Chains A and B, each alone.
Chain A
């Protein structure tokens, strides 16, 4: 079998906009995700970055099966999730688990930690016989650095960082191969953030996991990711290795995004060539024609309005970039 554990082909999610109460008619659609191709290889971490509203969370929900794609195909370990039958699909889903952003709302306050971490076994009872579950839950708590004796405690007895560990333990319960982390550390303080990132990296080494790591914090993504995809308005605008994206960004949006990240080094103040974008992200219900970034782009020409640039390798760019005028620009950014 190939090394690709997860593949998305032309994945699209449109949320219909309707008018009228009794006789609803569709008057448009929010194009949250609009044709995304991704491949995740075994053991790697794919970072997905983008601003709010770019569709990264909708993409995540489709990948784990919480949202049905409008069109396009999703392959988990070679299985087309839309085509296979119920049992097979459940087995596929078992292999891809989600760690959610908010450790406060993603845990049921009325359930004990043991019940939360053990709940996946209720959904997939074939994984582990009932009598063995409690021991397994304790093992999982130990694995994520929590005290196994705290199995009967409730979420409110834990701090934010510890709760995120509970969420990670729950995601690991079914021995998945792929973990999808949707902003796993953005609700945490810096010092706690580092603890959770270290834990995720340790688990990847020990269990051979593949990660999809969605975040808006570019320096965290750079630290953890092998490859990075940059999203804008439902599309991937640039994808490449961590080095290619951060050192040689070729899409103007990537360049602006990187240059906007404040650098924790006062000596670089005023020396950075900061690209301050004007305006806001356009509405995904009515994206601009052609290149979606053209309304905020300083390089935009007539061709950008007429023809949507393909996400492809060009002469001036060693990795795929969706810009007619892709070229490397040196951006002084988050890390030197």
Chain B
């Protein structure tokens, strides 16, 4: 563990401070299970600028959380393996680094908060000890100094009476307060990129509003890139700049937030937006997407969404799948019939 302190960030091979804080290119992740190989991520690419919020939107099993885990390097291996692609932090391909170097980037430069704060925190250590651990391991601080920093952090995330609460255990905190502790922990070493995996899904709406407001404020203060992984289209509309919509391990549409909500150009995105109950449709049937998402061990040929799609033609059911291509400046879609989808209101 002590090696951490010695590895210097500047010594990372190919570090270029002008390059983007995060760039993912053609990432592939598979899970080798007894029931066959599950292709969880199949060629995902996106980039994140400093201060920008990119949302990765998708339903359960679309590969959004696996993408985040691969970026952080916390994938369960085995069964999960990164089988191709690049993950670049300021030009450095993280996949080529040794574990000790990787650990240095993790938390220091790229940090992550998880959905379930209770299981992400260690129940047998005080919150202050866990926060201070970051400073002791990564910065080589003493116990007393690290505790002082932990109190500062709790103050930063607006936990009242930080001096007392620093000595409490995770179970003594409420759900919203625990998520604040998670945020404090992620921000401790001042990272350039924060990955938030469903940060508010387990919380009530009034608490969700508090947490999202706090995240937005801290992001702006630090000009941090935020990768927000979520299925909640309301939250995305509120905070995101860019959106990547994922389905069956692929990004099927990418655009600025306004464009997606105004004129989705992939039938899946369109279907998602139409499944949200709306006032003018009260008493009518919701337009649900028929069928189920495919099994990741058995993704259909051609476009993975074609069995559920109302625009699908024969061409959609044959390989190769429609590539994610630019359909307008700053937006791309992976649909043969994006023009029709976009024109349909």
Interface residues in chain A, defined as those with a beta carbon under 8 Å from any beta carbon in chain B: 51-52, 159, 161, 189-195, 197-198, 201, 216, 218-220, 222-224, 242, 256-257, 259-269, 274, 276-278, 280, 334-336
Contacts and interface: CB of A to CB of B under 8 A. Distances in A.
B213 interface: yes
B277 A159 contact: no
Mostly, the B contact residues are helix
Contact of B282 (A223, A277, A278): A223
B232 A262 contact: yes
Nearest to A50: B204
B207 A280 contact: yes
B309 interface: no
A66 B285 CA distance: 33
A197 B212 CA distance: 28
Given A197-B286, A222-B277, A264 B205 contact: no
B234 A51 contact: no
Mostly, the A contact residues are helix
Interface of B: 59-60, 174-177, 204-210, 212-213, 231-238, 240, 257-258, 261, 271-273, 275-279, 281-282, 285-290, 292
Contacts of B213: 276
B275 A280 contact: no
B210 to A, nearest CB: 6
Contacts of B285: 198, 201
Contacts of B278: 223, 335
A189 B198 CA distance: 13
Contact of B276 (A195, A219, A260): A219
B57 to A, nearest CB: 10
17 contacts: A51-B204, A51-B205, A189-B59, A190-B275, A191-B271, A191-B272, A259-B209, A261-B234, A262-B209, A262-B212, A262-B238, A264-B233, A264-B234, A264-B236, A264-B273, A265-B237, A335-B278
Contact of A265 (B177, B205, B209, B261): B261
A336 B277 contact: no
Nearest to A52: B204
B239 to A, nearest CB: 8
Between A159, A262, A265, A278, the greatest number of chain B beta carbons within 10 A of the residue's beta carbon is seen for: A262
